Amino acid sequence: MVSKDSSINIGNRNNFGGDTAIGENARIEKHIHDNSINYTGDRLDLTSIENFSKNITNNYDEKKVSLWAGILAGIGLIGDTISINSVLPSGTKIINFIPKFNLTFGWIIFSVCLLFLIVGIWVISAIKYKYDSTCPKCSKHYAMKESKNPAIREVRAYDGIKRTTTRNYKCKYCSYEKEASHTETIPYGN
């Protein structure tokens, strides 16, 4: 009798059936009856965004910083939209009613505004992280941490590979636990 389930224990960075397993001694289980592959991934390293968030929220007024970051991101987006025609090859226009500037001037505007956009989004993300990592039970900020490596399940479907990542979080103050799953579709290559 042929087993419907099989499992293989392999080392770091190995290919298995066209997919890559990344992690310390990743365990991949291929279930033939439902066309799925299960393995564990690596925890997210959120140290830099957490440190940046703590620095901003402890030293500055969150509402003012959020407002200024939003304004900065808005200016960046508007400036990049205005200058996009100027950095494209001659004869090419994305937005017809916006004139082309000098190429050098267009690149300067585009670069500075792109920097504004990136900084604005980064600051908003750092402030948002404070509330995303808040424990729903004890209400302490920066409390929720990944408690173990995420479980990943991939299933081949008609429109691509459906990857479901399940992460487990635990509060470092009150031991509250929660599980969060996210599913994405990875289209097949042409």
Q: Over the stretch 119-170, which tens digit does the pLDDT of each residue have?
A: 999 999 999 999 999 999 999 999 999 999 999 999 988 888 999 999 999 9
Give me the residue spans of the domains in the chain: 5-45+140-186, 47-132
pTM: 0.67
pLDDT band at 182 (very low <50, low <70, confident <90, very high): very high
- Confidence (pLDDT) at 25: 52
Strands 14-16 and 160-171, sheet pairing? unpaired
Query: Distances in Å between the alpha carbon of 19 and those of 35, 104, 149?
Result: 13, 44, 18
Integer Cα distance of 187 and 185 in angstroms: 6
pLDDT in tens, 39-73: 998 998 999 999 999 999 999 999 999 999 999 99
Bridge partner residues of 177 (DSSP): 170
Task: Take residue 163 and report the two structure tokens written for it.
Answer: 């990857």
Strands 5-9 and 27-31, sheet pairing? antiparallel
**Percentage of residues in the chain having pLDDT higher than 90:** 53
